[in-house]
Each structure stands twice: as structure tokens, then as C-alpha cells.
Structure 1
Amino acid sequence: MIAPYIVGIGGTTRPGSSGERMVRAVLAATERNGATTRMFGGAELSALPHFAPEDAERSDAQREFVEAVRAADGIVIGSPGYHGGVSGLVKNAIDLLEDLRDDRRVYFDGRAVGLVVTAAGWQACGVTLQALRGIVHAMRGWPTPIGIAVNTFEQQPFAQDGSLADDGLRRQVAMQADQILLLAGATR
């Protein structure tokens, strides 16, 4: 049996952002259950030129990103909640996936997509998570039933050693990883 391939997308221009670390936590949970993964964090997303649909040429970084998503069985997208919306860095990467429009599996078609939002407040968490769900639906993907929202104003998601800080968050990450793998297995 071929291991499911799960791609993570998320982060900010700040190295080690809580959102990027949360996406990595979900990827690690899928790996523990047999998946292979690839992460496109803040550094990789920052290297992507602004998406311009009229440009036929793509940079090496853009081609590498699109090819990884094209091959993915499942995806994890994480965004900070900036003023109730998806960050420009993450949205630019998602917009680049317009290059999948003519594929047999258009955009996220048939792929499980786990969503993670970190924000300094529950309102920003909820609104941003809903925005991501709408994007994934529009791109023909299947958002996992569990979306992870971390209110960084009330909760530090990580302990000093870098592990997830509490049992509730560990359960959410494990559940989302299981849902991604379940749906990814159904579409193979």
C-alpha cells in the first residue's frame, strides 16, 4: 500500500509562528499514522511571487508548490486570523493553485483539507476558519469536520519543549489527522 501524501501550507513571515507549528503538528500526527508529508511554511510561502493569472511563466518555487499540491492526497492549511481574514501570504499560495484548473482533479477536488487558525481572539478565529472553509468548498475540497482554532490571547499552544501544551489540543490535532487520512484513503 502506498502511503498517503499530505501537504501542509501555512505560517507567517515570522519564523516559528504558532500557526506554522500547528500545521506541522497535524502533519506529524499523519506521519505517525503512515503518511508522508511536505510542509510549505512561512519561508517557502514568502518566496512565492505574487500570483498574476496573466503570467504564463512560473518561478521554480511556484512550480514546486503547485506540483506538491497536485500530487497530494490531503492538505492542511493554516492561517493566522488577520482582521477576521486569511493572511495574504496564505491566500497568495492558494491563489497560485489556479494552475490546477485544467487538471483531472481540479483544485482540491476529492482531497481532504484540514484547517487550522491561530488568532488573538475567538471572533477572529471563527471568522477566519469560516473563510477558509468557504475557500476549500469553492475549490472542490472536503474540509475535515474538525477545524482547529487556537485563541493565542487565552492559550499558549506550545509548552517550553515545543510539544502541544494541553490534552485538548493534542486530541484535536490527532482527530484532524485521522479525518484527513480517512478521507484521503477513500479517494485513492
Structure 2
Amino acid sequence: MKVVGIGGTLRDGSSTERLVGAVLAACARKGAQTQLFGGSTLAALPHFDPQGGERTQAEAQLVEAVRACDALVIGSPGYHGGVSGLVKNAIDLLEDLREDARPYFDGRPVGLVVSAAGWQATGVTLGALRGIVHAMRGWPTPLGIAVNSVVQRPFAADGSLADDDIAGAVEAQATQIMAFGKVPA
């Protein structure tokens, strides 16, 4: 199975990017091949142009990775109760998949991760991501991960997951992604 992660902020190693990476690592331990498009990669993408034209190498790599994947993990910081522009721009680029035999996220499980400075922002942003995934014909996993960065400290100094509840949610989401992403023979 191939699982693609999309998410982060302009700051390399942001909590959001690291949480997406943690879900991908859990999927890898369960046998998946994974690829992460983090904040710095997303920042290199030009603003989405619906007219198409020649795509940059970075744009083409993201589109081709999603085209070939069996599942996704999408993470966004909760900015004012919405999906960050950086992540939304990457998702908008996936409009290039609209005419594929398997358009957009068709039939793929999508794990969702949100990190924000407050519970309201995590919930609203998680709901927005669920709506986007449904619109793109994907299957949001039943478990979405919402981390309140004011109350919770997800990572230890060495970068490992320090919060047992978050670590459990990461494992549960990876299990759901792997179970729902199995392609029938």
C-alpha cells in the first residue's frame, strides 16, 4: 500500500507536519510505503491556476504521488477556524485528477490531522477537512486527530510522541487507513 501525507506550515518541523509524519510512520510500521509533502515542499508550489498549463516539477510530483496512492493523510493547522492556505492550495492542485479513471480521492481513505491553539479551531478545521474530502470522493477515517497545542504537548524533546492519548490516536488512525485502504484482489 502507498500512503501520501500532505500538511504542515511554512515552519519546517511544525507540529502539524510532525503529526502527519507520525501517522505515516505508523502506516510504514504496518507495511505501507509512505511519502510526505511537508510545509517547505508545499510552500514551493505556485498558487493553483485552474487554467492548467505547464505544471512545475513540484506540482507534477504531488499530483502523480496522489494519483498513484491508495490512501492519504492530510494535516492542517487551524487558522481562524479554517484550513491553511498552504494546505488548501495543494488540495486545489489535485483538481488535475478530475478526469482520471479514479478521480480525486475516489474510494481512498483519508486520515485527517489538525493542530491549533484551541479546541474550537481544531473542531471547525477538522470539519472543514472532512467536507473537502467528501467533495473529492474520499473516505475520511472515522477517527480524526485534533491536537490543542495550548493544552497538549504532543512531542518530547527528542521528537517522539510524548502524549499517550495522541500516540494512541495516531496508531488507531493508521490502523483505519491500512484496513480501509486495502485494494480488493
AA paired with 2:133?
V
SS in 2 for 1:185: coil
> Residue 103 of structure 2 corresponds to which residue in structure 1?
106
Describe the superposition over 1:75-129 as per-residue Cα deviations: whole angstroms up to 9, x where unpaired.
0000000000000000000000000000011100010000000000000000000
Verify: 1:184 aligned to 2:157, yes or no: no
When the two chains are superposed, the root-mean-square deviation of aligned CA atoms in Å is 0.9
Percent identical: 68
For residue 40 of structure 1, the aligned residue among 37, 40, 44 is 37
Gapped regions of structure 1 (runs ≥ 5) = none
Alpha-carbon distance in structure 1 between the residues aligned to 2:182 and 2:175: 10
- How far the C-alpha of 1:62 sits from its partner, in A, is 0.3
1:58 counterpart (52, 55, 61): 55
Residue 95 of structure 1 corresponds to which residue in structure 2?
92
Q: Deviations over 1:110-162 (max 9, x none)?
A: 10000000000000000000000000000000000000000001011101111
4+ residue runs over 6 A deviation: none
- Offset of residue 54 of structure 1: 1.1
Structure 1 residue 187: deviation in Å?
5.2
Checking the alignment, whether the CA contact within 8 Å between 2:6 and 2:73 is kept in structure 1 is yes
- Aligned equivalent of 1:79, options 76, 93, 101: 76
Q: Is the 8 A contact 1:110 1:187 kept in 2?
A: no
Q: Deviations over 1:43-68 (max 9, x none)?
A: 11001110010131100110011000
- Contact 1:11–1:42 under 8 Å retained in 2: yes
**Structure 1 residue 160 corresponds to structure 2 residue 152:** no
User: Aligned pair 1:10/2:7, yes or no?
Assistant: yes
Aligned length: 185
Tell me the TM-score normalized by structure 1: 0.97
Q: Which runs of 5+ in 2 are unaligned?
A: none
